[in-house]
A and B are shown apart, each in its own frame.
Chain A
């Protein structure tokens, strides 16, 4: 292992072994998945057992309404139960079924606390099933299965003639999420580079180091080491989120994923119908419309390129100052183009083929963020991407060269915070 390898290894290991890194890596996905699951669960159901009293005057419904025994407990009576009586009773829900229910088709539900919509919809469905079965039996001329076929409405599809544009916007949105990740990672890990350099300066370890390795090796070792930390975190997050989402789907979303599991006679039908709708929209978008190999490889390229471009600048800033408090004046010109690229990307979401985004995706300081949005739509010419990539490579070689010139002088300077004029002078110092 060469010297630069030793430096990379130290920078990498000292960070991934930190408690804060391990905690962030584990907690991040748990929080993301936890919030998603929590939001869905809280929005969908209260999980307490509902006590339901069915006051059935028709005498037909006795024990026939299907229900999930884990969420509700049904008790039947042929007595008329009034509102006041119900209020005083132990029941949560009262269902009043009148004598002429076959004709007036009216059922009243009284509740103390409104049950969630899914539960109510399910109840209505199951009451209907009982009624329908009774009515068919009374007529006696048609099988229930045939009746269901007749009853099922036409599957009426509506399509936007400009749906490709709509899809493009959705794809751009996905690209924007990747762009947001790049933006965050550059700031997060770029400032780690800066802090690392400042730490070496304030602990006075720097001069010992540069007597063994060149300042350039030291700077590159640090930048690359921290980049690997970032990639490690990204890969672990993606992996963990994937695993957590899968298990959450199996344990928490069982009912939602397959409505067929819900009680009810028309199981097969509802399942078919739901499958038909999910199939066409989100499912297709996620599993067929997005080009993952391109998205992921572009993400990795533009993350590395953008990080190297900015990482060198962050290192130069760190070398020029003695403490983090002094970094602000130098941080502004570095943060500005990155934030600018982010804003352009956000505005470009509505119109991914616009001029502003096209330019921003070519200029190296903004391209790591902006190009992700364009690449995800799939409508960007290949040569645009190639030029953007080449410019980015050229630019990070340039900023690294420039930063190294400031770095090698800055790391050995203590005391007064330098001005831009002094930085310019440092760049022109020989050897």
Chain B
């Protein structure tokens, strides 16, 4: 069920606490978003999962076993600070990384060939990395991350450095890998990609997990019981109909006799109650619930703990 469980992780660097009682559970086959502002502790946690450093306290379980060196072959990691050997040839370098992950020579060669074909970069095999553009190098880097068919893929800000076309290509590859059963941990500040791709998230701020769960549940939790109503009719009639049990949050005229308003339900009123109240007054054209975006949830949660620090947006 869970491919990875980090339980009560603590990590200190001298007096500085990077992680404080952090627990995350990553379900098999899901895309898991690890969110948080810079310096929150995301990279520290990711490094522990990759066994680059060890936790001071707490345990990490990989497929219900204690995380051990041989698990390296089952994990693919694309760090935020990433790069390739500039003087080394693309093909040779990809081979090197594949073999460091424990692949056999023939197997690695076969897989590389099919990835190079897929990305239409067969001609790059004998080029040195320094001859490639940044975007081209990122493609090679992505291949070296997934070449050994990891069951867990950890991507730290995967889209930074890609142009929109290549970013889309990579996004589709990630979704394709998910279809094949790969689990993905996805660390980012890019909230729109979280909404598009993630099943579950954990939000870390100041070394602690503030929020975790499925995206759907979290959105529900943050929903404020507000609805957007579009109607034909008189604005005054509409406002009068809502005199008790509702709050008119916003009003907006699209054209004469055509309005769009946001209404909050009070006192246990339901959507049905709202409709019953409105139908006699105006002609309803549409109604939908106003759901908070992940960006709003992110800012609200982080600011709630950040005290005086104002955080306006984390979209990059």
**Interface of B, helix, strand, loop or mixed by DSSP:** loop
Chain A residues numbered 384-431 whose CB sits less than 8 Å from any CB in chain B: 408, 412, 414, 425, 429-431
Chain A residues with Cβ below 8 Å from B79 are: 204, 207-208, 211
Alpha-carbon distance between A3 and B83 when the two chains are bound, in angstroms: 20
Cβ distance A348 to chain B, nearest Cβ, rounded Å: 42
Q: Which one of B27-35, B84-92, B214-222 is at the interface?
A: B84-92
Residue tally, chain A, CB below 8 Å to B: 26
Q: Are B52 and A208 in contact (CB under 8 A)?
A: no
Q: Are A425 and B14 in contact (CB under 8 A)?
A: yes
Instruction: Tell whether B97 is near chain A: CB-to-CB under 8 Å.
Output: yes
Q: Are B83 and A204 in contact (CB under 8 A)?
A: yes
Q: Are B72 and A208 in contact (CB under 8 A)?
A: no
Chain A residues numbered 159-175 whose CB sits less than 8 Å from any CB in chain B: none
Instruction: Tell whether A42 is near chain B: CB-to-CB under 8 Å.
Output: no
Chain A residues with Cβ below 8 Å from B100 are: 3, 6-7, 209, 212-213
Alpha-carbon distance between A254 and B83 when the two chains are bound, in angstroms: 58
Instruction: Tell whether A210 is near chain B: CB-to-CB under 8 Å.
Output: yes
Give the residue name and chain of the B residue nearest to A10 (CB): B96
Quick one: CB contact mask for B228-253 with A, threshold 8 Å, 1 for yes? 00000000000000000000000000
Alpha-carbon distance between A345 and B100 when the two chains are bound, in angstroms: 44
Q: Are A204 and B52 in contact (CB under 8 A)?
A: no
Chain A residues with Cβ below 8 Å from B82 are: 204-205, 207-208
Chain B residues with Cβ below 8 Å from A155 are: none
Q: Are A212 and B101 in contact (CB under 8 A)?
A: yes
Q: Are A205 and B54 in contact (CB under 8 A)?
A: no
**Most chain-B CB neighbours within 10 Å: which of A14, A212, A412?**
A212
Cβ distance B42 to chain A, nearest Cβ, rounded Å: 14
Quick one: CB contact mask for B84-119 with A, threshold 8 Å, 1 for yes? 111110000000110111100000000000000000
8 Å CB contact of B72 from A212, A412, A425, A430: A212
Q: Are B56 and A6 in contact (CB under 8 A)?
A: no
Q: Are A203 and B96 in contact (CB under 8 A)?
A: no
Residue pairs across A and B with CB atoms within 8 Å: the count is 69
Instruction: Tell whether B255 is near chain A: CB-to-CB under 8 Å.
Output: no
Cβ distance B264 to chain A, nearest Cβ, rounded Å: 47
Q: Are B88 and A414 in contact (CB under 8 A)?
A: no
Give the residue name and chain of the A residue nearest to B88 (CB): A14
Known contacts A204-B81, A211-B52: A429-B13 contact under CB 8 Å: yes
Alpha-carbon distance between A215 and B52 when the two chains are bound, in angstroms: 8
Alpha-carbon distance between A208 and B75 when the two chains are bound, in angstroms: 12
Chain A residues with Cβ below 8 Å from B62 are: none
Cβ distance A204 to chain B, nearest Cβ, rounded Å: 3
Alpha-carbon distance between A431 and B69 when the two chains are bound, in angstroms: 13
Q: Are A203 and B101 in contact (CB under 8 A)?
A: no
Instruction: Tell whether B305 is near chain A: CB-to-CB under 8 Å.
Output: no
Q: Are B50 and A205 in contact (CB under 8 A)?
A: no
Known contacts A3-B100, A431-B53: A211-B84 contact under CB 8 Å: no
Chain A residues numbered 187-217 whose CB sits less than 8 Å from any CB in chain B: 199-200, 203-205, 207-215
Cβ distance A103 to chain B, nearest Cβ, rounded Å: 82
**Most chain-A CB neighbours within 10 Å: which of B47, B55, B100?**
B100
Instruction: Tell whether B144 is near chain A: CB-to-CB under 8 Å.
Output: yes
Chain B residues with Cβ below 8 Å from A214 are: 69
Instruction: Tell whether B77 is near chain A: CB-to-CB under 8 Å.
Output: yes
Q: Are B77 and A430 in contact (CB under 8 A)?
A: no
Q: Are B96 and A6 in contact (CB under 8 A)?
A: yes
Cβ distance B80 to chain A, nearest Cβ, rounded Å: 8
Alpha-carbon distance between A339 and B85 when the two chains are bound, in angstroms: 33
Alpha-carbon distance between A220 and B216 when the two chains are bound, in angstroms: 48
Give the residue name and chain of the A residue nearest to B130 (CB): A203
Give the residue name and chain of the A residue nearest to B100 (CB): A212
Alpha-carbon distance between A10 and B87 when the two chains are bound, in angstroms: 12
Chain A residues numbered 327-375 whose CB sits less than 8 Å from any CB in chain B: none
Chain B residues with Cβ below 8 Å from A414 are: 81
Q: What are 9 A-B residue pairs whose CB atoms fall within 8 Å in the complex? A: A3-B100, A6-B96, A14-B88, A203-B85, A204-B82, A209-B100, A212-B97, A408-B53, A430-B56
Beyond the given pairs A205-B82, A205-B85, 16 more chain A to chain B contacts, judged by CB atoms under 8 angstroms and listed by A's residue number, are A3-B102, A6-B99, A203-B85, A204-B79, A204-B83, A207-B79, A207-B82, A208-B79, A210-B52, A211-B51, A211-B75, A212-B101, A412-B52, A429-B13, A430-B54, A431-B56
Residues of A that sit less than 8 Å from B by CB: 3, 6-7, 10, 14, 199-200, 203-205, 207-215, 408, 412, 414, 425, 429-431
